[in-house]
Amino acid sequence: MSGNRNEKFMRIALKLAEKGITSPNPYVGAVIVKDGRVMGKGYHKRAGMDHAEVAAIKSLKNASDAKGAEMFVGLEPCNHYGRTPPCTKAIMEAGIGKVVFAMKDPNPEVKGGGEEELRKHGIAVESGVLEPEAQRINEIFVKYAKTRMPFVALKAAMSMDGKIATRNGDSKWITGEKARKYAHLLRSKYDSILVGINTVLKDDPQLTSRIRGGRNPLRVVLDDTLRIPNNAKVLADKNALVATSGKCDPARKMELEASGVRVLVCGKETVDLGALLAELGRMGITSVLVEGGSEVQGSFVDAKLVDKFLLFYAPIIIGGRGARPAIGGTGAETVSGAPKLAISSSRKIGHDIFVEAYPEQQ
């Protein structure tokens, strides 16, 4: 029974965690339970703000409710000073009697220590409750903490037959309003959003997160020869990076940089995607949302650089030999050799279907 009970309260904590926009920090929620009742709840909202454990303690109606209570939290409580004091200190001062957490902190620079510190001060600790679920929620944080490489998600909105535009190039709008709103929420969860120069030239997108409380990601444009116009909307607030190649015009590069735009040379003839990702990682960018177009999507798939697929399917058939597919690039030579995906979830958003999937080897 205790297993089911612990999982019940941990699920509440993990659900709370997903409400935050916390990069470069992990998503963490916490629940304080006493005599089988939830007394307090909290989650880490943004980097620099209270961690989930502190937020949950502050949510208590009476401070005495923490005495001898249990705390369920998605991540091992921190035991170091960063932007905020150690959560272990707040837990001990509150009088919490037991801490149940889902996963250890994967950051080698932090080296955990929270569990040991709590036990040393007489607080019971249990770990590993719903650990796979917690790992999935914090997949961006886990990959970056271990590799210093950004987590790459590919997002595509397409017809049921896998097209992102008609033979005449029309693409607005394939998916419905609810799906597009959810896509803007996804943007606010990622540190950067990446498109190719053809998407910029054709659509002149803003690539912003137009939701209340959201944040705008760094916009990354792949542009081998620096064709991007000075008045492109993605450059409007200078929160952009143009990745180019050795073929670019040095004068044009200097012009863009003089206007405040970051320009990064990655590769001789074309942008080297692996080198670009490594540089973004060094910049502290923990995640990349690849949004297009077709050839950019295909190049990431061909290079096996995608960690997760976020696919929106609209209930329409576009058809046509000249219609643009969602995934271009070289593609697989044989069906048996095609990359295989493991679907983790699928659901309807409005009239559309949203599918989350991972490369099978992961």
Cβ atoms of 238 and 246 closer than 8 Å: no
| E-only strand ranges, the chain | 29-34, 37-43, 70-75, 98-103, 124-127, 151-159, 163-165, 192-196, 218-222, 240-244, 262-265, 287-292, 308-314, 324-325, 341-349, 352-359
* Long-range contact set of residues 130-135: C-beta below 8 Å, sequence gap at least 24: 130/7, 130/10, 130/11, 130/14, 130/102, 131/102, 131/103, 133/11, 133/14, 133/102, 134/14, 134/74, 134/75, 134/102, 134/103, 135/103
Query: Which residues are CB-contacts of 14 (< 8 A; sequence separation ≥ 6)?
Result: 29, 74, 102, 130, 133, 134, 137
From residue 275, alpha-carbon distances to 168, 172, 242, 247, 269 in Å are 34, 33, 14, 16, 13
Could you tell me the two tokens for 80? Answer: 């170091």
Catalytic annotation, pick one of 7, 18, 53, 70: 53
Which pairing describes strands 37-43 and 124-127: parallel, antiparallel, or unpaired?
unpaired
255 is catalytic: no
Q: How far apart are CA 138 and CA 105, in angstroms?
A: 10
* Burial degree of 17 (CB within 10 A; 0-12, 13-18, 19+): buried
Indicate which residues carry an active-site annotation. 53
